């Protein structure tokens, strides 16, 4: 079902003009944003001689983490290569040794013990073999993590760096522990669910703090590369791509202060018309995407080198047509967890539509609790599930006999494609709008 080439190129041209003009509007407001900013930007690269937007704490922390822990990636590489030709369980021991050594060297004893208690509690739950108990334990830990997020005393005691690392690590570990424990309950006689694989999986260093998340099936599915040379070339290529995008993002923040604009409604108002706001929303998503291409890309590079089977890197949001694809392809690891351990447990392919809606609500309730029970996260979750349900209704309508008899027979294949694009766009608009709540909170939207 293809449109004429001229029409396709016309749409592509309009799209590229929109991006170029929108990017120019953001660039053109850089000095005005500086003049009204209520924070002082850091001095950027000396050869550029411009202030650099350093208001995105996650990105600034990642750069700091990478600089201070580069030696741990090298240690991981050397230790795991030494164990590479041993059997699977021994390689998990290597992963565990590096991960535990990193925790001991990096965290205060209080943070280290909290992580150890979390891991041991889930491993004990895996031996209880009760789904209900496992989910109660998981929700309890997520509530505890949210308590830590709101504890000023812990923030002052640990300092920002360790405080941030502890929260992120605990959150990732909840997912990993659930993936292991629920898998063990379902397949209790499989010998892969042992202590060495559990520890190696949960504290695997390259993906411990910054992801990506891998379900246990991906971690345990070792996939050898054909030759030693090709493995090193693959690692090098992926690391070059990661650092290219790191350089590009860091460079762009000298001229486009989009991270600051996410936090200041007065800066957003400088864009003036609705067109400027559309550009702001789009590039806010693109900057977010590039950040995760960098952070996830680093973990993917080392996991692939180690013979694991990590998920793909986030798909560019410019290629997303349906919002369900955003969940499937932006964070593939998280999607696989949600689908396998929650949605597919609550319904099947042949379940009623009402049951599927209930399952979607249950899935996004978990998403809400895991991200943190804040009002903007709740609104973002509700809008997401509403748009996904609308998308399901659209697809159900298209597959119905009424649609086939009354619409398809009267439209050419090209007109059907144009109609799908129009309908899909209407559903995508509110789902894209929901990301303002996720990125910026309530202030920018309200």
Label each residue of the chain as H, E or C: CCCCHHHHHHHHHHHHHHHHHHHHHHHHCHHHHHHHCCCCCEECCCCCCCEECCCCHHHHHHHHHHHHCHHHHHHHHHHHHHCCCCCHHHHHHHHHHHHHHHHHHHCCHHHHHHHHHHHHHHHHHHHHCCHHHHHHHHHHHHHHHHHHHCCHHHHHHHCHHHHHHHHHHHHHHHHHHHHHHHHHHHCCCCCCCCHHHHHHHHCCHHHCCCCCCCCHHHHHCCCCCCCHHHHHHHHHHHHHHHHHHHHHHHHHCCCCCHHHHCCCHHHHHCCCCHHHHHHHHHHHHHHHHHHHHHHHHHHHHHHHHCCCCCCCCCCCHHHCCCHHHHHHHCCHHHHHHHHHHHHHHHCCCCCCHHHHHHHHHHHHHHHHHHHCCCHHHHHHHHHHHHHHHHHHHHHHHHHCHHHHHHCHHHCCHHHHHHHHHHHHHHHHHHHHHHHHHHHHCHHHHC
48, two tokens: 């550029």
Size of the chain in residues: 446
- The verdict on residue 329 lying in a domain is no
| CA-derived radius of gyration, the chain | 24
Query: Looking at residue 227, what is its pLDDT?
Result: 56
Note whether residue 371 is domain-resident: no
Closest CA to 41 of 260, 275, 314, 364: 260
Say how far apart CA 253 and CA 18 lie, in whole Å.
21
pLDDT of 215 reads: 95
Catalytic member of 76, 225, 341, 371: 371
The pLDDT value recorded for residue 88 is 59
Tokens of 439: 């990125």
Give exposure, 404-417, as e/b (b: 16+ Cβ within 10 Å): eeeeeeeeeeeeee
Q: Is 38 a member of any domain?
A: no
Reading the block at residue 416, the tokens are 């059907």
- Does residue 146 sit within a domain? yes
Query: How far apart are the C-alpha atoms of 295 and 66, rounded to whole Å?
Result: 10
What's the confidence (pLDDT) of residue 356?
Answer: 87
Q: What is the pLDDT of residue 229?
A: 64
Q: Name the residue among 193, 199, 108 with its Cα closest to residue 159.
A: 108
Q: Is residue 369 part of a domain?
A: no
Query: Do residues 221 and 227 touch, judged by C-beta distance below 8 A?
Result: no
Q: Is residue 419 part of a domain?
A: no
Residues 6+ apart with CB under 8 A from 340: 215
CB atoms closer than 10 angstroms to residue 112: 16
Judge contact between 167 and 155, C-beta under 8 A: no
Residue 245: CB atoms within 10 A of its CB come to 16
How many domains does the structure of the chain reveal?
Answer: 1
> Does 95 participate in catalysis according to the annotation?
no
Contact 117, 169 (CB under 8 A): no
How far, CA to CA in Å, does 276 sit from each of 3, 17, 29, 185, 256?
30, 13, 11, 52, 13
17 in any annotated domain:
no
Euclidean distance between CA atoms 432 and 299, whole angstroms: 27
Which range of residues forms the domain containing residue 206? 53-314
Residue 152 in any domain: the answer is: yes
Regions of the chain short of the pLDDT cut 70: 1, 85-89, 222-229, 428, 431-432, 440-446
Q: What pTM does this model have? A: 0.91
């Amino acid at each position: 079902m293809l449109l004429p080439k001229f029409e396709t190129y016309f749409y592509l041209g309009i799209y590229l003009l929109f991006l170029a003009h929108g990017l120019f509007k953001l660039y053109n407001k850089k000095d005005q944003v500086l003049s009204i900013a209520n924070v002082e930007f850091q001095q950027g690269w000396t050869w550029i001689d411009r202030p650099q937007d350093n208001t995105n704490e996650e990105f600034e922390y990642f750069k700091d983490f990478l600089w201070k822990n580069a030696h741990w990636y090298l240690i991981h590489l050397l230790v795991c290569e030494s164990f590479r030709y041993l059997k699977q369980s021994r390689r998990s021991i290597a992963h565990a040794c590096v991960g535990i050594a990193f925790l001991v060297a990096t965290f205060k004893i209080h943070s280290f013990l909290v992580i150890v208690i979390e891991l041991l509690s889930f491993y004990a739950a895996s031996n209880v073999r009760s789904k209900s108990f496992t989910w109660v334990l998981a929700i309890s830990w997520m509530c505890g993590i949210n308590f830590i997020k709101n504890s000023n005393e812990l923030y002052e005691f640990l300092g920002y760096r360790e405080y941030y690392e502890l929260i992120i690590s605990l959150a990732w570990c909840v997912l990993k522990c659930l993936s292991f424990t629920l898998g063990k309950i379902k397949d209790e006689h499989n010998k892969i669910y042992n202590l060495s694989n559990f520890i190696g999986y949960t504290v695997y260093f390259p993906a411990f703090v910054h992801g990506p998340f891998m379900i246990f099936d991906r971690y345990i599915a070792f996939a050898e590369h054909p030759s030693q040379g090709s493995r090193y070339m693959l690692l090098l290529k992926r690391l070059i791509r990661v650092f290219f995008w790191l350089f590009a993002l860091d460079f762009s923040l000298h001229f486009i202060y989009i991270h600051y604009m996410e936090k200041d409604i007065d800066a957003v108002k400088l864009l003036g018309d609705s067109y400027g706001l559309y550009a702001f929303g789009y590039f806010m998503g693109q900057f977010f995407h590039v950040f995760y291409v960098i952070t996830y890309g680093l973990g993917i590079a080392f996991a692939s080198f180690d013979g694991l089977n990590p998920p793909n890197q986030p798909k560019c949001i410019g290629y997303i047509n349906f919002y369900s694809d955003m969940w499937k392809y932006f964070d593939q690891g998280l999607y696989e967890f949600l689908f396998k351990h929650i949605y597919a447990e609550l319904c099947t392919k042949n379940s009623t539509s009402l049951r599927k809606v209930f399952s979607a609500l249950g899935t996004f309730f978990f998403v809400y609790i895991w991200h943190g029970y804040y009002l903007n996260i709740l609104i973002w979750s509700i809008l997401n599930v509403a748009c996904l349900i609308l998308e399901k209704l659209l697809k159900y309508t298209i597959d119905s006999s009424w649609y086939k008899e009354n619409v398809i027979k009267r439209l050419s294949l090209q007109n059907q494609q144009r109609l799908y694009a129009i309908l899909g766009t209407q559903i995508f608009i509110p789902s894209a709008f929901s990301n303002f709540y996720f990125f910026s909170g309530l202030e920018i939207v309200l």
